[in-house]
Chains A and B, each alone.
Chain A
Amino acid sequence: MNVNTIIRPLERFLEDHGKQVGLLVLIPLFLFLWLPIIVVALMSFSDSVLTFPPENLTLEFYHIFVENSQARSAIFTSLQVSAVATPIAVALAIMYSYAFAKYDFPGKGVITVLIALPLIVPLIVVGIALTLLFGMLGGSGSYWEVVIAHIVRILPFAALIILPSFLSFDTTLEEASKDLGANSITTFRRVTLPNILPGVVAGGLLAFTISFNEFVYTYFVRGTGMETLPVYLWGRIEHTMTPEINVISIVFLAVAVLMVALAVIITDVERITIR
């Protein structure tokens, strides 16, 4: 039997009903992605952990969360770490991408691999390695050690997102700027940066989100004083399951969404990308 006798009618069917078939695939996919989050959101209003759907809806655990100074301070610690680690990682990623796109130098290939390598090395391996390293250097799990661990974690993501903007950036624009009397710093600020900004913002957002969610490195490296939100959450789950856990998860999500929205508003990303 000819293969075409099967494929032809199938193709015709897909041509006529492609939209329906597409939806049939997409809807389960989206449900799979979002259902757990929807469940958590619902359960955050429930009065017990185990019954689904919730029998009584209540805001009680939101109140408990707001009153919970430990949780609030965990969020604050997380923000303190991410808000510092992200700009540093983004700055490093910009420098790396700029050099990579503009110059040929010995060891370029090796550096590229080394930048991306942390993505595939198991988290625990790097976690232990960082702990050992900081231990050797006499560290005690201070704030800066956690920040460095976060930079190590998010740098590959920032670099891989930012690099393509530099690769597609037309460097004759920089020549044009210098030709018109601008020095290197002005040129970077007025010409290079505005043109790569969408990539930088995207890289920064991803880096921030990953830093905000980072658990493994932090867990290994941190001293007793450094309790980020994921670490606090883990500590709570170990003890007792209460609906407050769901509340904290939703707060997590809200912070992430808020950051993205904020970045979009500040940088006017849409306008830049459309151009």
Chain B
Amino acid sequence: MSIVSIQDLRKEFGNVTAVEGANFDIEEGEFVSVLGPSGSGKSTILRMIAGFESPTSGSIEILGKEVVGMAPFEREVNMVFQDLALFPHLTVAENIKYGLQQKGVSKDEQQRRATEMLEIVDLAGYGNRDIDQLSGGEQQRVALARALVNEPSVVLFDEPLASLDRKLRQRMQFELQQIQEETGITFLYVTHDQEVAMSVSDRMVVLNEGKIEQIGTPEEIYRDPESQFVAQFIGDLNSVYSKVVEANDDTVEVQTNGTLVRVPVMETTTPALNAEAVDIGVRPQNVTLQQTSSNGDGTAFEIGGTVINRMYRGDNIAYIVDTEDEEFLVIEQQDTRTEFEIGEDVYVQWKTDDCLVFPSKEVA
């Protein structure tokens, strides 16, 4: 049985449809991220599961029990809020015990579990401190402990790490993952930060404008994005518009610079086979820069352009190349021999095997 099961969930605010036709299940012990740009409806889904918003239609089941219509305090879920919402008038231990008190757990048991939880989140001995005596990272841990101590069916996270600096955020991600493995409690994590989502999740749900674009493991979503939105949102993507000359079972043939190039189409994006025009996408890491043109053998694309920007980034260098089609982002590892200067004429090359082909967004 799924821990959380969401069916045909829909939420309207006035004329705006915030969530439309959302379906997904979360299995026991999973770490699932809901990822999407701001305004994509991800927080709304979370708030509907927690009980702070009621869906316009659809159902939410927690442990097989329909919860739509139940008040937040009747649901077996706990939330870690974006701004943490720790009680400023209570101590760390009192914050953690709050949920247990509501359940009527005995004082001794409250104390025992709060102490145990403080050890798990690495804050042993902090019980009597005031909330504002803690650093940002420590407050995050208290918020996590306050949710976990109730042993909910699922812990909901509303981007709690967003306010931390990069280093601390990475450490907290790592700790979050460890604590999740340790406790075995199911996590549902909402974020707009694809880096966080990719590194912590077992599965990701990618949302765009209230609709689910794709559900899968981070690898599936990065390697085989089902839509151009997903490809662009998860990692960077260069894309070139091309008319389709001919389509076969699993390839499309397009014309570029006078030569015909045959591009394999992934199973996940078969609609591209029927399109009149396609967008050929490629990740910046898979593009190389050349000083001279190498005449294609039909297995690679090549476009001429000029370097207009160069960003040194430590282990790699990012170039922006202006071509007649698009501006290209190219990331070259530091160990490649040649470096290019701004203003230099170059050729942008990438292999057909590295292409992600989508039906074109532009109307031909």
Say whether B103 faces chain A, with CB atoms less than 8 Å apart: yes
Q: Which of A171-179, A234-242, A249-257 contacts B (4 or more CB under 8 A)?
A: A171-179
Contacts of A186 in B (CB 8 A): 102
Say which residue of B83, B88, B150 sits within 8 Å of A181 (CB atoms): B150
Q: Which of A233-275 contact B (CB under 8 A)?
A: 272, 275
Task: Check A195 against B146 for contact (C-beta < 8 Å).
Answer: no
Please measure, in the bound complex, the distance between the C-alpha atom of A67 and the C-alpha atom of B63, giving whole angstroms: 76
Please measure, in the bound complex, the distance between the C-alpha atom of A228 and the C-alpha atom of B146, giving whole angstroms: 53
With A175-B52, A175-B72 in contact, do A181 and B85 touch (Cβ < 8 Å)?
A: no
Report B250 CB to chain A, min CB distance, Å: 49
Task: Check A176 against B73 for contact (C-beta < 8 Å).
Answer: no
User: Of all chain A residues, which has the CB nearest B130?
Assistant: A275
Task: Check A175 against B73 for contact (C-beta < 8 Å).
Answer: no
Say whether B132 faces chain A, with CB atoms less than 8 Å apart: yes
Say which residue of A170, A194, A272 sits within 8 Å of B85 (CB atoms): A170
Task: Check B87 against A181 for contact (C-beta < 8 Å).
Answer: no
Say whether B200 faces chain A, with CB atoms less than 8 Å apart: no
Say whether A148 faces chain B, with CB atoms less than 8 Å apart: no
> Told that A176-B79, A179-B50 touch, could you supply 14 new A-B pairs with CB distance under 8 A?
A170-B83, A172-B85, A173-B85, A175-B72, A175-B79, A177-B87, A178-B51, A178-B71, A179-B51, A179-B79, A180-B146, A181-B102, A190-B98, A195-B88
Say whether A182 faces chain B, with CB atoms less than 8 Å apart: yes
Report A46 CB to chain B, min CB distance, Å: 49
User: Of all chain B residues, which has the CB nearest A181?
Assistant: B102
Say whether A191 faces chain B, with CB atoms less than 8 Å apart: yes
Say whether B127 faces chain A, with CB atoms less than 8 Å apart: no
User: Of all chain A residues, which has the CB nearest B158?
Assistant: A172
The digit string for B67-105, where 1 denotes a CB below 8 A from any CB of A, is 000011100011101010111110000000011001100
Please measure, in the bound complex, the distance between the C-alpha atom of A176 and the C-alpha atom of B78, giving whole angstroms: 9
Task: Check B87 against A178 for contact (C-beta < 8 Å).
Answer: no
Please measure, in the bound complex, the distance between the C-alpha atom of A219 and the C-alpha atom of B132, giving whole angstroms: 50
Task: Check A275 against B98 for contact (C-beta < 8 Å).
Answer: no
Please measure, in the bound complex, the distance between the C-alpha atom of A104 and the C-alpha atom of B81, giving whole angstroms: 24
Say which residue of A176, A182, A272 sits within 8 Å of B81 (CB atoms): A176
Task: Check B89 against A275 for contact (C-beta < 8 Å).
Answer: yes
Closest 8 CB pairs of A and B: A181-B102, A180-B99, A176-B85, A178-B72, A172-B85, A194-B89, A181-B73, A179-B79
Please measure, in the bound complex, the distance between the C-alpha atom of A256 and the C-alpha atom of B364, giving whole angstroms: 82
Please measure, in the bound complex, the distance between the C-alpha atom of A241 and the C-alpha atom of B271, giving whole angstroms: 101
Q: Which of A195-214 contact B (CB under 8 A)?
A: 195
Please measure, in the bound complex, the distance between the C-alpha atom of A272 and the C-alpha atom of B87, giving whole angstroms: 13
Task: Check A191 against B79 for contact (C-beta < 8 Å).
Answer: no
Task: Check B89 against A180 for contact (C-beta < 8 Å).
Answer: no
Task: Check B130 against A181 for contact (C-beta < 8 Å).
Answer: no
User: Of all chain B residues, which has the CB nearest A183?
Assistant: B73
The digit string for B116-149, where 1 denotes a CB below 8 A from any CB of A, is 0000000000000010100000000000001000
Which of B's residues lie within 8 Å of A, judged by CB? 50-52, 71-73, 77-79, 81, 83, 85-89, 98-99, 102-103, 130, 132, 146, 150
Which of A's residues lie within 8 Å of B, judged by CB? 170, 172-173, 175-183, 186, 190-191, 194-195, 272, 275
Report B216 CB to chain A, min CB distance, Å: 29
Contacts of A194 in B (CB 8 A): 89
With A275-B88, A275-B130 in contact, do A180 and B102 touch (Cβ < 8 Å)?
A: yes
With A175-B81, A180-B102 in contact, do A195 and B89 touch (Cβ < 8 Å)?
A: yes
Contacts of A178 in B (CB 8 A): 51, 71-73
User: Of all chain A residues, which has the CB nearest B74?
Assistant: A181
With A173-B87, A194-B89, A195-B89 in contact, do A180 and B81 touch (Cβ < 8 Å)?
A: no
Please measure, in the bound complex, the distance between the C-alpha atom of A191 and the C-alpha atom of B87, giving whole angstroms: 7
Please measure, in the bound complex, the distance between the C-alpha atom of A21 and the C-alpha atom of B77, giving whole angstroms: 62
Report B322 CB to chain A, min CB distance, Å: 46
Contacts of B72 in A (CB 8 A): 175, 178-179
Task: Check B89 against A181 for contact (C-beta < 8 Å).
Answer: no
Please measure, in the bound complex, the distance between the C-alpha atom of A190 and the C-alpha atom of B95, giving whole angstroms: 11
User: Of all chain A residues, which has the CB nearest B146?
Assistant: A180
- Residue among A175, A176, A178 facing the most chain B CB atoms (10 A cut-off): A176
Please measure, in the bound complex, the distance between the C-alpha atom of A275 and the C-alpha atom of B90, giving whole angstroms: 10
Contacts of B102 in A (CB 8 A): 180-182, 186
Please measure, in the bound complex, the distance between the C-alpha atom of A272 and the C-alpha atom of B88, giving whole angstroms: 10
Report A191 CB to chain B, min CB distance, Å: 6
User: Of all chain A residues, which has the CB nearest B149?
Assistant: A180
Contacts of A175 in B (CB 8 A): 52, 72, 79, 81, 85
Report B122 CB to chain A, min CB distance, Å: 22
Report A267 CB to chain B, min CB distance, Å: 12
Report B168 CB to chain A, min CB distance, Å: 22
Query: 20 interchain pairs (CB within 8 A)?
Result: A170-B85, A172-B81, A172-B83, A173-B85, A173-B88, A176-B87, A177-B87, A178-B73, A179-B72, A179-B73, A179-B78, A180-B99, A181-B102, A181-B150, A182-B73, A183-B71, A183-B73, A186-B102, A191-B89, A195-B89
Contacts of B89 in A (CB 8 A): 191, 194-195, 272, 275
User: Of all chain A residues, which has the CB nearest B47?
Assistant: A175
Report B134 CB to chain A, min CB distance, Å: 13
Report A239 CB to chain B, min CB distance, Å: 53
With A175-B72, A194-B89, A272-B89 in contact, do A180 and B83 touch (Cβ < 8 Å)?
A: no
Please measure, in the bound complex, the distance between the C-alpha atom of A21 and the C-alpha atom of B83, giving whole angstroms: 45
Please measure, in the bound complex, the distance between the C-alpha atom of A191 and the C-alpha atom of B86, giving whole angstroms: 10
Contacts of A190 in B (CB 8 A): 98
Please measure, in the bound complex, the distance between the C-alpha atom of A195 and the C-alpha atom of B77, giving whole angstroms: 25
Contacts of B78 in A (CB 8 A): 179-180
Please measure, in the bound complex, the distance between the C-alpha atom of A195 and the C-alpha atom of B73, giving whole angstroms: 21
Please measure, in the bound complex, the distance between the C-alpha atom of A178 and the C-alpha atom of B85, giving whole angstroms: 12
User: Of all chain A residues, which has the CB nearest B132?
Assistant: A275
